Amino acid sequence: MASNTISVQKLTHGLRGTLTVPGDKSISHRVAILGALAHGSMRVQNYLCSADCMNTLRAMQQLGATVTPGEKEGSFTLTGTGMAPIAPTHDIDCGNSGTGMRLMAGVLAALPFNSCMYGDESLSKRPMKRIMEPLCLMGADIRACGTKPGCAPLRIMGGTLKSVDYTLPMASAQVKSAVLLAGMLTHGTTTVHQPAITRDHTERLFAHFGIPCRVSEDGLDISVEGPVHIKAKDITVPGDISSAAFWLVAASVVPGSELTLKNVGLNPTRDAIITVLKRMGADIEITPHTMDGEPYGDITVRYAPELHGAEVLAAEIPNLIDEIPVLAVAAAYAKGTTTIRNAAELRVKESDRIATTVGNLRAMGADVEEFEDGLAVTGGTPLHGAEMDSYGDHRIAMGFLIAGLQAEGRTTLLHCENINTSYPGFEEHLNQLTAQL
């Protein structure tokens, strides 16, 4: 568990060595959900044992799946319910996780019992209408009972749904997946059309579990034919590129750094952080490993003395949406301006990530312009340490601790416990790398 308050000092040495970041958050949620419905048992390895993904795994146990712990952290045998989950006896706690709640809503809406999901303060303010709308078009009965309209807790009166042909109003893998998960439990063909490519872990896992799923050549339209038969199959979750991103930026901006990150997921719908950092002049080398469902590999990153600003393309935004806070930190250490637009979705993440990123960068003396849909950072001005809030947002906490590694003096982040939602062990990795001589 990360400490409440974490401080770092400007480093006088590079970050060096080899690191293994924890398992991918998006894939872990989906493995728990699909494995819990499957026929048979499967061995899961490198599951992300973070607060978010453990909440989803516990929810699946409430639906009747069984989990037998293995020897290593993140390994267990998951025995599915053979497409016959049972009604949960108490309300499902989704903690901080929008992914957990939105994906499970798709499944729960199509099951023959009632359920209720709730979350923490941040999750209780996040928009749920985006999944309620398509699921209600399928005939689902979902009520958002939060004090904020359209927000959790969600009461779901489960039942038989009808298939749908749905065009997503925003590029969201969570909404896409909620509809596809409901569709796989429903008679007929459910099709989702996306305005831009979003992470395709659901589609890849459908293929892994033998679920028939068609993806158009341009990757924008996805169909699933329900009801499906899910056959349990062993799986190893690759490392999370969103967690690796903190070290890609840290090593790029701290002189003398050379880090190798092992077994990181390199799914092409998630790797734009590498493309954009390279466009900015980062020194990043990839050694790919054999693909089985999800591509992965080792990434070596070295200090980049000539880091410069770049434009992030609109089509790249969904591909690096979670990495934008730390990308903005890289931009503050790069010469020239980095512009990030078309990213209004950041306003409805664990915090309003445009406001929190801009506010914290300014607190460190960076030159930042805020837009409704993004930000522009002009780097080159030396940053100074500051005491900043993480606003209960794991990626803001980690992103600004990384910013502190090259800022004059001391940088302190308050309310860092939420780091545990995606990267348990971050503080240990930080201590390990910063302690080196």
Q: Cite the active site residues.
A: 322
Segment near ligand S3P (CB under 6 A); pick from 168-176, 189-197, 208-216, 398-406: 168-176
Q: Radius of gyration (Cα) for the chain, nearest Å?
A: 21
**Counting beta carbons within 10 angstroms of the beta carbon of residue 348, is it exposed (0 to 12), middle (13 to 18) or buried (19 or more)?**
middle
Segment near ligand S3P (CB under 6 A); pick from 108-116, 173-181, 373-381, 423-431: 173-181
Could you say whether residue 322 binds ligand S3P (CB under 6 A)? Answer: yes
H-type helices in 348-425, by residue range?
353-363, 394-404
Segment near ligand S3P (CB under 6 A); pick from 109-117, 136-144, 167-175, 300-308: 167-175
Nearest to 151 by CA among 134, 168, 129, 169: 129
- What are residue 364's phi and psi, to 5 degrees? -95, 5
Could you say whether residue 163 binds ligand S3P (CB under 6 A)? Answer: no
Could you say whether residue 24 binds ligand S3P (CB under 6 A)? Answer: no
C-alpha distances in Å from residue 115, one per residue of 48, 86, 183, 383: 25, 11, 19, 49
Cβ proximity to ligand S3P, 102 vs 415, nearer residue: 102
Q: Considering only residues 11, 21, 23, 26, which one is a binding residue for ligand S3P as defined by CB under 6 A?
A: 26
Task: Show the site string, 342-381: x = touches ligand S3P by CB under 6 A, - = not.
Answer: ---x------------------------------------
**Interaction residues for ligand S3P, span 183-242 (CB under 6 A):** 199
Could you say whether residue 417 binds ligand S3P (CB under 6 A)? Answer: no
Cβ proximity to ligand S3P, 13 vs 193, nearer residue: 193
Could you tell me the two tokens for 331?
Answer: 């931009």
CB of 247 to ligand S3P, least distance (A): 18
CB atoms within 10 A of CB 43: 15
Cβ distance 163 to 190 under 8 Å? Answer: yes
Which residues in 302-311 are b (16+ Cβ under 10 Å) and which e?
A: bbbeebbbbe
Cβ proximity to ligand S3P, 32 vs 366, nearer residue: 32
CB of 200 to ligand S3P, least distance (A): 10
CB of 273 to ligand S3P, least distance (A): 13
Could you say whether residue 173 binds ligand S3P (CB under 6 A)? Answer: yes
Cβ distance 260 to 68 under 8 Å? Answer: no
Q: What is the DSSP string of 217-256?
A: TTS-EEEEEES---B---EEPPBPHHHHHHHHHHHHHSTT
Could you say whether residue 99 binds ligand S3P (CB under 6 A)? Answer: yes
Could you say whether residue 174 binds ligand S3P (CB under 6 A)? Answer: yes
Could you say whether residue 319 binds ligand S3P (CB under 6 A)? Answer: no
**SS3 label, residue 123:** helix
Binding site for ligand S3P (CB under 6 A): 26, 99, 172-174, 177, 199, 321-322, 345
